């Protein structure tokens, strides 16, 4: 079995010093116009990041690539075309699909 090497980042999101809630807000904003296939490296120092990032990726449908080797806490994500939208103010909640008239 072979594994694909993780590509260099197309986009880096620096969440140094941020709690995961704020990190996800920043991440969602910075990837909002990025195309599918974009590899994002997320710098995250919050101890909850190794749990929250894969859970968020699973929820929205992006590919979580895992922690990357190196001295900094960096995690890889590959954006997918079929990702589910989330609320801009709460990226852990699905975007509303209904409209009010």
Query: Is residue 49 classed exposed, middle or buried when 0-12, 13-18 and 19+ CB atoms within 10 A define those classes?
Result: buried
* Half-sphere exposure in the Cβ direction for 83 (13 Å, CA): 25
Angle (nearest 5°) at CA 22 between 96 and 20: 100
Ramachandran angles phi, psi of 8, nearest 5°: -60, 155
The catalytic residues are 20
């Amino acid at each position: 079995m072979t594994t694909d090497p993780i590509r260099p980042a197309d986009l880096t999101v620096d969440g140094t010093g941020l709690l995961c809630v704020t990190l996800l807000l920043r991440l969602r904003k910075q990837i909002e116009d990025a195309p599918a296939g974009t590899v994002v490296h997320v710098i995250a120092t919050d101890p909850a990041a190794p749990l929250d990032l894969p859970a968020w990726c699973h929820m929205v449908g992006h590919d979580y690539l895992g922690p990357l080797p190196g001295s900094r806490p960096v995690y890889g994500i590959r954006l997918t075309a079929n990702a589910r939208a989330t609320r801009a103010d709460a990226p852990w909640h699905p975007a509303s699909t209904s409209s009010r008239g």
